[in-house]
Chain A
Amino acid sequence: MRKNPDSPIRQPLAVIGVTILTIWILIAIFAPLIAPSNPIAQNYGQLLPPNSHNWFGTDSVGRDVLSRVIYGARITLPLSMMLVILAMLVGTVIGAIAGYFGGWIDAALMRFTDVVLAFPGIILAMAVAAALGAELRNAVFAVVLVAWPTYARLVRGLILSSKNADYVTSSRLLGASTTRALFVDLRPNISGPVFVLAALEAGNGMLLLSGLSFLGLGARPPSAEWGAMVSAGANNFDKWWLAVFPGLAILTAVLAFNFLGDALRDILDPRTAKALRE
């Protein structure tokens, strides 16, 4: 008996997630209008604690931290999106090829995926980012490099599990080529989980990216990237406002993605949700 009566869709989280994300996106778009001052204007004064003029205080070269956090959204959000899309594309293509062709192609691709997965992610990303040179572009590349296997695994799994599904066989019996059957029948089954995974991964990607920036392997000052801003704060513990506000910015943005992804996963039917968890 297939009944799924008690899985009320917990929408509130999704709503919160979407709301926070929307706010951040609006902030990013309208940063020049919202920010109280130029994020790179300096006054060489002291590091000022939050005050009525600089709500989030100022940094070591006298820039307004609030304005920098606001402008930071223009760096972090688009990059996280880009990173997720790239990882999703690469992973999906590789997973699809592996799942579709099977045999030695599958074996080879999956071994390769396994190797990347067995590689400690942050260490690989760190090594790649350092080797290519500390630049945001390279950090994004490094994160994509460690992020794609998750998608490849998911997509391959989904294809394999539905490749022999009765409804695919039915399509084949009705004269569909393997490719068409897989494309028409599996695309809708794959896109849902992949997008949910993307929502969940966006948060992880953002964390990894800002982590690299924190270590000085990603964005570099004067860029107002949040991770880099936290690292500036890390040099001045007493000036807590330097690290706290950009850190909260990262936290809320990642949280929004995770809320969204988590709620979406619940909406998916249990079987694909399980595939996602694995």
Chain B
Amino acid sequence: TSSSAASGRVLVIDSEFNHKTLDPQREFEDGGNMMDRAIYDTLLTFKGNDASKPVPSIALSYNSNADSTVYTFHLRKAARFSDGTPLTSADVVYSYGRLKNIQGNPSSLMAGLTATAPDKYTVIITADQPDTAVPVKVAGPEFGIVNSKMVAAHGGYALVGADTKDKAENFLNTTSAGSGPYMLSKFSLTTEVDLIANPKYWGKQPAYSKIVIRNVTQAVQALDVQKGVANIALDLSPKQTDSLSGVNVTAGVSTTVWFLYSNANPTISSVTSDPNFQSAVRYALNYSDLTAFAGKGSIQAAGIIPSAFQGSLKPADATKQNIALAKADLAKTAYKGEPIGLRYWGGGAWEGISFDDFATVISSQLAAVGINLKLEPTPVGDALTTYRNGTDTMGLWFWGPDWPDSSNYSQNFGPGKKVGLRAGWAASAAPEITKLINAVAIESDPKKRAAQYRQFQLDLNANSPFIPLIQSPAILVSTKSVIGIATNPIWKVNLTELK
């Protein structure tokens, strides 16, 4: 139960819940990120809609060595947890250790990293291999700093073995152990999460004394925000916003990249693994129709790395529809018009784009050049299973960054990498690309890195199972009273910035 909210302003947010927990070291979905961002501080953070340039938060400054393996953070001394305890480097090390050792969904972010505390207000992160993404990683809410004494007192465990020994999740779902501007006052996975302003916050008090986040379907969000029942609707699609009246629509482009893949494994399909077929698909698609379908704010994904990140491709580099080429390529294959299965999350929608509709549009476009898709809408569980097993002939999926850095893409979309394998792309398939990926991982010069990322993507566009489609729009609909709203790919909206 909470104290009365009558003393200040209350903000009501309609959202389609997807958080599974608010334990920052376990939470991995963007809905939870939004809440944890308000409850837990991180060493660095992002401002507004920029998710690529970390700015100081608990750490006032940081530096790294030349080969990006050792990072030193200098903490601010004024930070306090909501119970008044000062925040120190021990809390940071505890939180990071916990993240690593719980072995939950986000623990891979800590893979190869070790945090140590030489003194009370210094934290050193050491990487086994050069890792240029450490500053952006620690800005993620997974790296939220918890009150180590309090969590340890409630079953928390941060050392090796935490996967079985840590019992603090339930505690963290009822009480906040953070230093952020808000505290958790009501928790639910399905109905409503309430945040109230942290009276002992070390920084400036936030504008709203209470934030109510309710689980509401898209359709109802549109109604609520128009009636002023909700102040912000998080999940509306561009099409849903075009008829709204009396509200502000903040449109941006998200970092979610939708892509199609055509399985490169000949044992799965001799057709889809044929590079000519992959090329035919690539050129058959009408990308401007796809963005029209996705609605205002959406742009074509020129490469697999979204536009906001270092080394992303320019619109000019993007693939353009070329029916003649597509037909010519198709003619070079043994394809005879037999139906090719396209697997996707049936009934699923992400950022306002319905998988079903998207797949329908794609299949009708491909049909125009003679590629006959058999749509295979599948419940998310089954679809993920076959996707991850790499047994689908074709698939329609999206990728949202685990951390806001291009390295997240080079480490996943290469041959023999996680997503590469799902598309049947064996490690030995493209040695030049593999070489490029290995090179970019240890390159510390940002300019050179950017060039290498661009080359990586151009190579993917030329010859890979992946066909980047679009970046979905990011839209926030709010009542006129809400000021300072900005879309952010990591946590949708930074609640602490709202006025």
Contact = CB atoms under 8 A, between A and B. Distances in A.
Touching in the complex, A and B, CB below 8 A? yes
Interface of A: 40, 42, 44, 46-47, 60-61, 130, 133-134, 216-217, 220-222, 231-232, 234-239
Given A40-B364, A216-B347, A237-B222, A222 B356 contact: yes
A86 B229 CA distance: 48
Given A47-B239, A222-B363, A237-B219, 6 more contacts: A40-B364, A61-B360, A134-B347, A134-B377, A235-B219, A238-B243
Given A60-B354, A133-B382, A134-B347, A42 B219 contact: no
15 contacts: A42-B360, A42-B364, A46-B239, A47-B239, A133-B378, A133-B379, A133-B382, A134-B347, A134-B377, A134-B379, A217-B379, A220-B377, A222-B360, A234-B217, A235-B217
A134 B354 contact: no
Q: Which of A40, A42, A130 has the most CB of B within 10 A?
A: A42
Contacts of A239: 243
A121 to B, nearest CB: 20
B223 interface: yes
Interface string B373-389: 00101110010000000
A130 B378 CA distance: 10
Chain A to chain B: the 3 pairs with minimum beta-carbon distance, closest first:
A216-B347, A221-B356, A220-B377
Contacts of B219: 234-237
B243 A235 contact: no
Given A46-B239, A220-B346, A61 B379 contact: no
Contact of A61 (B217, B361, B377): B361
Interface string B441-468: 0000000000000000000000000000
Contacts of B439: none
A221 B360 contact: yes
B292 interface: yes
Interface string B233-257: 0000001101110000000000000
B36 to A, nearest CB: 28
B357 A61 contact: yes
SS class, residues of chain B in contact with chain A: helix
A224 to B, nearest CB: 11
A43 B497 CA distance: 40
Interface of B: 217-220, 222-223, 239-240, 242-244, 289, 292-293, 346-347, 349, 354, 356-357, 360-361, 363-364, 375, 377-379, 382
Nearest to B361: A61
Contact of B375 (A42, A44, A216, A222): A222
Given A235-B218, A237-B223, A238-B243, A42 B347 contact: no
A47 B379 CA distance: 26
Given A222-B360, A235-B218, A237-B223, A44 B293 contact: yes
Contacts of A130: 379
Nearest to A63: B360
Contacts of B361: 42, 44, 61
A73 to B, nearest CB: 20
Nearest to A59: B357
B378 A46 contact: no
Contacts of B243: 238-239
B240 A236 contact: yes
B357 to A, nearest CB: 5
A59 to B, nearest CB: 8
A216 B289 contact: no
Given A44-B292, A221-B377, A238 B240 contact: yes
Nearest to A243: B219
Contacts of A220: 346-347, 356, 375, 377
B182 to A, nearest CB: 31
Contacts of B220: 237
Q: Which of A220, A234, A236 has the most CB of B within 10 A?
A: A220
Nearest to B364: A42
A237 B375 CA distance: 27
A46 B222 contact: no
Contacts of A47: 239
Contacts of A42: 360-361, 364
Nearest to A238: B243
A80 to B, nearest CB: 22
Nearest to B240: A236
Q: Which of B223, B349, B354, B360 has the most CB of A within 10 A?
A: B360
B378 A134 contact: yes
B346 to A, nearest CB: 5
A234 B244 CA distance: 16
A186 to B, nearest CB: 44
Contacts of A44: 289, 292-293, 361
A216 B356 CA distance: 11
A65 B293 CA distance: 17
Contacts of B217: 234-235
A232 B361 CA distance: 15
Contacts of A40: 360, 364
A163 B487 CA distance: 74
B12 to A, nearest CB: 18
A239 B223 CA distance: 12
Contacts of B354: 60, 221, 232, 235
B226 to A, nearest CB: 9
B416 to A, nearest CB: 30
A221 B292 contact: no
Contacts of B218: 235
Given A46-B239, A61-B361, A236-B240, A134 B346 contact: yes
Contacts of B222: 236-238
A217 B363 CA distance: 22
A40 B363 CA distance: 11
Nearest to B243: A238
Nearest to B349: A235
A236 B244 CA distance: 11
A11 to B, nearest CB: 43
A238 B292 CA distance: 20
Contacts of A133: 378-379, 382
A234 B219 CA distance: 6
A231 B364 CA distance: 22
A210 to B, nearest CB: 15
Contacts of A235: 217-219, 240, 349, 354
A40 B356 CA distance: 13
A217 B242 CA distance: 30
A232 B240 CA distance: 12
B9 to A, nearest CB: 28
Contacts of A237: 219-220, 222-223
A20 B243 CA distance: 36
Nearest to B220: A237
Contacts of A46: 239, 242
A216 B360 contact: no
A238 B242 CA distance: 10
Contacts of B293: 44, 61
A217 B380 CA distance: 11
